[in-house]
């Protein structure tokens, strides 16, 4: 196990890491973008009425700015267990260690990325995403609350995501 253990958050991990954090840094991951490309059948939707959650989707020339979290010393094994229980619930995510850049320098961080061959992977136009997110609910709550919380926390950190901002506004108008 890598020590220190860094985890890259780009969605709900930003506002609900679920593990003891020793340090936070704004970080950028190149070659990937934040995308509502994963059908959620557990946390923000159901098998019968899937929601959508964010995933890191590989894309040439893309980048995603989020937060790198350094896990508190001695908590690495418990954190890995908790993250795997949360993020790998349906095997749509792949666990990877990827290089991110921060103002304090580069580091390797654990990240959960979409498996493009998984049945939950999807590419939907923004309007269809908005319609789904406006109404879906799963085991961890309403899909729209997940979107709005992520957008609000990115804004608080000064991280601009114009696509996410548009989607949050559109879902507000739909609800």
* 43-92 pLDDT tens trace: 999 999 999 999 999 999 999 999 999 999 999 999 999 999 999 988 89
The answer, yes or no, to whether residue 171 has pLDDT greater than 70, is yes
Tokens of 92: 């749509």
| pLDDT for residue 25 | 98
pLDDT (average), residues 36-45: 95
Contact (CB, 8 A) for 24 and 17: no
Give the model's confidence band at 117: pLDDT under 50 very low, under 70 low, under 90 confident, else very high.
very high
| pLDDT for residue 2 | 63
How far, in Å, CA of 2 to CA of 26, rounded? Answer: 20
Contact (CB, 8 A) for 66 and 161: no
How far, in Å, CA of 87 to CA of 95, rounded? Answer: 9
The answer, yes or no, to whether residue 1 has pLDDT greater than 60, is no
Contact (CB, 8 A) for 35 and 122: no
The answer, yes or no, to whether residue 35 has pLDDT greater than 90, is yes
How far, in Å, CA of 39 to CA of 52, rounded? Answer: 5
Q: What percent of the chain has pLDDT over 90?
A: 95
- Distance set, CA 118 to CA 30, 48, 89, 139 (Å): 22, 18, 13, 21
Summary mean pLDDT of the chain: 96
For 121, phi then psi, to 5°, come to -75, 135
Q: Catalytic residues, which ones?
A: 87
The answer, yes or no, to whether residue 3 has pLDDT greater than 80, is no
How far, in Å, CA of 44 to CA of 129, rounded? Answer: 13
Q: Where are the beta strands (DSSP E) in the chain?
A: 6-9, 21-40, 51-71, 93-102, 105-114, 137-138, 141-142
For 77, phi then psi, to 5°, come to -65, -45
- Residue closest to 24 by CA, chosen among 118, 85, 102, 92: 102
């Amino acid at each position: 196990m890598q020590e220190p253990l860094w985890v890259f958050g780009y969605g709900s991990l930003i506002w609900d890491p679920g593990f003891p954090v020793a340090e936070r840094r704004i970080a950028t991951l190149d070659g990937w973008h934040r995308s509502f490309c994963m059908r959620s059948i557990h946390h923000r939707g159901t098998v019968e009425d899937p929601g959508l959650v964010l995933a890191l989707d590989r894309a040439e020339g893309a980048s995603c700015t989020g937060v790198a979290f350094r896990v508190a010393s001695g908590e690495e094994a418990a954190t890995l267990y908790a993250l795997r229980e949360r993020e790998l619930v349906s095997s749509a995510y792949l666990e990877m260690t990827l290089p991110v850049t921060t103002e304090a320098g580069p580091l390797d961080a654990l990240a959960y990325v979409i498996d493009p061959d998984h049945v939950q992977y999807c590419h939907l136009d923004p309007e269809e995403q908005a319609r789904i997110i406006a109404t879906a609910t799963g085991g961890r709550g309403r899909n729209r609350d997940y979107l709005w919380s992520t957008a609000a926390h990115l804004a608080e950190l000064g991280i601009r995501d114009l696509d996410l901002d548009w989607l949050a506004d559109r879902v507000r108008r739909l609800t």
